[in-house]
Amino acid sequence: MEETIKARCILEVLARPKEAAVDALKKIIQNLEENGKKLEVSNEEYSEPKAMENDFFSAYVKFDISGDLDSIFNFVLDYAPSSIEILEPEKVTMEMVDLQTMLNDLSGRLNELDQKIKIYSASNVLLAKENQELKSKMSDKK
C-alpha cells in the first residue's frame, strides 16, 4: 500500500465565537502535517465564517492532501471530511490483507460509535424521566 494517493478535501466545523471556527480548522491542518500520519497538505483555502443558529459560526477549509492509502483512510476515519475528491491515481491495487485490515478498522470505529450512541440515548431517556419526575414533584408542591 505504498502508492501515493492525491485528493482534494473539504473539512467543515461549527464553533463559537467566530474566530474559533477558522482557528479550529488551522489546528486540524497543523495536526495532519505534524502527527506522523505521512500526509502532505497543500493549497489550503479557508472560508470566511458564516453565522448560524445560537451564535455559532460555520467555516470550512478546502485543501489538497497526499499520502499512502492507509494514511488517507485513517484521515477520513479521524476527521470525517464532508467531501473527498481523488485526484490521482485512477486505479489503486491492494493486497487482500490490507483491505481486510482497513475494513476491520472501519467496522471497529462504527461499532465504537454505535456503542456511544446507545449510551447517550439511554442517558437521554433517563434524564427525560428524571426531568418529568422533578416537574411532577414541583407541580405537587404548588
CA angle 72, 78, 115 (to 5 degrees): 135
Q: 419526575: which residue's cell?
A: 133
pLDDT tens-place string over residues 59-92: 999 999 999 888 888 888 888 899 999 999 998 8
At 119, the pLDDT band (50, 70, 90 cuts) reads: very high
Residue 39 Cα distances to 11, 14, 20, 68, angstroms = 15, 24, 24, 8
pTM of the model: 0.73
Q: Where among 68, 93, 118 does a domain terminate?
A: 93
Could you tell me the residue range of the domain that residue 112 belongs to?
Answer: 95-142
Structural domains counted in the chain: 2
Q: Are residue 73 and residue 105 in the same domain, yes or no?
A: no
Alpha helices in 8-67 (DSSP H): 18-34
Q: Are residue 22 and residue 89 in the same domain, yes or no?
A: yes
CA dist 71 and 58 (Å) reads 27
Phi/psi of residue 12, nearest 5 degrees: -120, 150
CA dist 99 and 70 (Å) reads 9
Residue 13 has pLDDT above 70, yes or no: yes
C-alpha grid cell, residue 102: 482497513
Q: Are residue 18 and residue 82 in the same domain, yes or no?
A: yes
pLDDT tens-place string over residues 21-46: 999 999 999 888 776 568 899 999 99
C-alpha grid cell, residue 124: 437521554
Q: What is the CATH number of the domain that holds 33?
A: 3.30.70.60
**Beta strand residue intervals within 48-111, DSSP E:** 50-51, 57-68, 83-88
